[in-house]
Structure 1
Amino acid sequence: MTSPITRVQPASTGHPAYSQTFPCEPSTAETGRKLVREALGVWHLDDLADVAALITSELIANAVRHTTCRSIRLIVSRPSATRVHVGVVDRAPSRLPVLCRAGDVDESGRGLLLIDGIADRWGYDLRGPHRRPWGKEVWAELLTRGEE
């Protein structure tokens, strides 16, 4: 069961400005989309809401599908006045994201391609000690118009 929506507190920039842990299950995508939209609304960046919500869905879907983690952490931040960062942290550092082309009849496998096409940049960062990471964050960033 996903947790109730928690109000996002305004923050102009900083890392993380918002984060919450959720069960690693498909229903988390809906809650995640709502929370990302609320954060963007607080920052007056509603024009990015649809794209950021789609990115959130894909990042959560990938964590659900490709890891055996019991929980994931959604992070929404503004590392600068011109960037919004959306990331999903899981505890599967050995399951790194790979950008690949799905076949015409494949029913899945297009999530990272979609993110690659709509985000200004995306990637992943391992979490924990260099030799023994405990997890990873797969993230995407969108550029704003620099408005506060």
Structure 2
Amino acid sequence: MSRKPWDLAFTAEAEEVAALRRIMRFHLGLWGLHDLTDGAQLCVSELVSNIITHVGPGTPATLAVSMNGTHLRIEVHDPAPRDLPTLVDADSDSEAGRGMALVDAVADRWGVLLRPDGKVVWCELATELAAPNGHVGGAGVKRAETLLSLYTADGRPREADPSRLSRAVAQEAMIDVITDFLYWLRVHGCDEEDVLDRAQMRFEALVSATAGAPCRALR
């Protein structure tokens, strides 16, 4: 899966926060990182609110999102290098710094980069990815990709590198896999219709539990 960096210029206003949260949700859905949505949206809200509070409403800023290895990296750029974010203790009565305390609790790490034209406040959230262009899905996805690597359109084994499978080739290989298993079931006197029904039910339960993107039914 390709996860190309993207950025968006915006004006730091309270009404922009909800729109930025929706954009973040949309892109994480495209990237297959649904489980990071809540944490990423919180970080965006707090980083942008920090600009509004400490730099001022109407400040021109930029949201930049990318992958740093297997971590999701969120950056907010603004033109005020002296207005640095602060982090307060949990038992402090001060309201200032509460937002960064939330970011600190959600993110794996965060920091500030000072530049001649301003600063970048960034944070990174850990994913379950084994590689930046990999898929989240646990053991089931890994088993499927291992099996797919053994199939090609002409039936000969291919190099075990699932990342090189295009979607079209992967779909054709998956059809071969399913066809072979259905034929195996029939040869061994099993009810392939019953197996398909049970697989469909298990698949739908898995998608519901992981809040994944909708997929077409098996039949």
In structure 1, the partner of 2:120 is 137
2:66 to 71, 77, 80: 77
Moved runs in structure 1, 4+ residues, more than 2 A?
Answer: 10-13, 101-109
Higher helix share: 2
Larger radius of gyration: 2
Instruction: Write the mapping of 1:1-148 to structure 2, written as runs, cut at 5 A.
Output: 11-13=2-4, 17-68=5-56, 70-80=59-69, 82-101=70-89, 106-107=94-95, 109-127=97-115, 133-146=116-129, 147-148=134-135
C-alpha RMSD over aligned residues: 1.9
Aligned pairs, number: 130
| Separation in 1, partners of 2:53, 2:75 | 16
TM-score relative to the length of structure 2: 0.55
CA shift at 1:88, angstroms? 0.7
Deviation at 1:103, TM superposition (A): 6.3
Name the TM-score, length of structure 1 as normaliser: 0.79
Post-superposition offset of 1:97? 1.5
Deviation at 1:12, TM superposition (A): 2.4
- Structure with the greater relative contact order (CA < 8 A, sep ≥ 6): 1 or 2? 1
User: More strand per residue: 1 or 2?
Assistant: 1
Q: Contact 2:86–2:97 at 8 Å: present in 1 too?
A: no
Deviation at 1:106, TM superposition (A): 4.8
Per-residue deviation at 1:126? 1.5
- Residue deviations 1:20-46 (CA, integer Å, cap 9, x gap): 111111111111111111111111000
Q: Percent identity?
A: 39
